[in-house]
A and B are shown apart, each in its own frame.
Chain A
Amino acid sequence: MILRRSEARAPLALRSISVAYRGVPALWDVSWEAREGSMTAIVGPNGAGKSSLLNAAIGALRPLAGEAFFWGQSFASARSRVAYVPQRESVDWDFPVTALQVVEMGAARRLDWLLPDWLLPDWLLPTWVRRQEGSREHRAEARSCLEDLGLGAFADRPIGQLSGGQQQRVFLARAMAQQADLLLLDEPFAGVDSETEDALFHRLRSLCDEGTTIIAVHHDLESARTRFDDALLLSGSVIATGSAREALSEDNVRRAFASGSATLASSDPGARQLA
Chain B
Amino acid sequence: MSDTDERAADAIPAGLHEFMTLDLMPMVAVTASAATLALLGSFLVLRRQAMLGDAMAHSVLPGLVIAFLLTGSRAAGPMFAGATAAAALSGLAIGAIIRHGRVERSAAIGLVYTTMFALGVLLLELNGGANVDLDVDCVLSGQLELMFWNVPSTWAGVFEEGGLDGAPAQPLRLVGLLVISCVAVAVGWPLLRAVAFDPAFARSRGLHPTMVAAALMVLTTLAIVLSFDAVGSILAIALLTCPPATARLLTDRMGPYVMLSVGLGAAAGVLGYLLATQAAPLLLGASVDASGSVATLSGLGLALSAALSHRRRGGSGPAAARL
Contacts and interface: CB of A to CB of B under 8 A. Distances in A.
A161 B46 CA distance: 17
A175 to B, nearest CB: 9
A142 B276 CA distance: 50
B319 A161 contact: yes
A91 interface: yes
B194 interface: yes
B197 interface: yes
Contacts of A161: 252, 319-320, 322-323
B283 interface: no
Given A84-B201, A113-B207, A158-B252, A95 B323 contact: no
A101 B197 CA distance: 11
Given A96-B253, A112-B190, A158 B201 contact: no
A85 B248 CA distance: 27
Q: A58, A85, A94: which has the most chain B beta carbons within 10 Å?
A: A94
Interface in B218-268: 248, 251-254, 257
Interface stretch (B4-12, B181-189, B287-295, B304-312): B181-189
Interface in A156-205: 158, 160-161, 174
B198 interface: yes
B262 to A, nearest CB: 15
B189 A116 contact: yes
B193 interface: yes
Contact of B257 (A55, A96, A112): A96
B197 A113 contact: no
Given A113-B191, A114-B187, A115-B187, A160 B252 contact: yes
Interface in B198-226: 198, 200-201, 203-207
B196 interface: yes
- Main secondary structure on chain B at its contact with chain A? helix
Nearest to A104: B190
Nearest to A117: B190
Nearest to B189: A116
A97 B48 CA distance: 15
Given A96-B248, A96-B257, A113 B194 contact: yes
A245 B198 CA distance: 35
Contacts of A96: 46, 248, 251-254, 257
A232 interface: no
A98 B255 CA distance: 11
B188 to A, nearest CB: 6
A96 B260 CA distance: 13
B204 A84 contact: yes
B43 to A, nearest CB: 12
B113 to A, nearest CB: 24
Contacts of A86: 198, 200-201
A97 B318 CA distance: 14
A217 B123 CA distance: 55
Interface string A216-257: 000000000000000000000000000000000000000000
A98 B189 CA distance: 15
Contacts of A116: 186-187, 189-190
Q: A84, A95, A160: which has the most chain B beta carbons within 10 Å?
A: A95
A60 interface: yes
A155 interface: no
Contacts of A210: none
16 contacts: A60-B200, A60-B204, A79-B205, A90-B198, A95-B196, A97-B253, A105-B201, A105-B205, A113-B190, A114-B187, A115-B187, A116-B186, A119-B186, A158-B253, A158-B319, A161-B323
